[in-house]
Amino acid sequence: QQQVKQSPQSLIVQKGGISIINCAYENTAFDYFPWYQQFPGKGPALLIAIRPDVSEKKEGRFTISFNKSAKQFSLHIMDSQPGDSATYFCAASKSSGSARQLTFGSGTQLTVLP
């Protein structure tokens, strides 16, 4: 049972273009929505995160758009660069005591062409 659905599976963008990755979730109890970036041979690292009380969060070239009613959120990478080539995972979680159990999407492999 996949609680967080991510698309597309892969994405190729020209340098300077906009990369858009979409996620949809089912559990309305989720209250934290992070995006993780993973380079080959490395562990995922937090890129940006949002909570459902805001509709958008921007950090540099990276923006999360959040639509609570549609249960969807997306990552926009503006002015995409070859160094952004990586696998991106969306995730969602609800607080469970003192631990947060993240449910991850299936990942998007982004390639930015020079």
80 Cβ contact list (under 8 Å, min separation 6): 13, 14, 15, 16, 17, 18, 19, 61, 110, 112
Positions in 60-99 near other proteins (CB under 8 A): 89, 93, 95-99
The CB-of-74 to other proteins minimum distance in angstroms stands at 17
Residue for token digits 């340098």?
15
Positions in 25-54 near other proteins (CB under 8 A): 32, 34, 36, 41-46, 49
The CB-of-98 to other proteins minimum distance in angstroms stands at 5
Give the residue from 28, 38, 22, 36 showing the smallest Cα distance to 91.
36
Q: Does the N-terminal peptide bond of residue 82 adopt cis geometry, omega within 30 degrees of 0?
A: no
- Judged by beta carbon, residue 17 or residue 52, the one nearer other proteins is 52
Q: Which residues make up the interface to other proteins (CB under 8 A)? A: 4, 6, 9, 32, 34, 36, 41-46, 49, 89, 93, 95-107
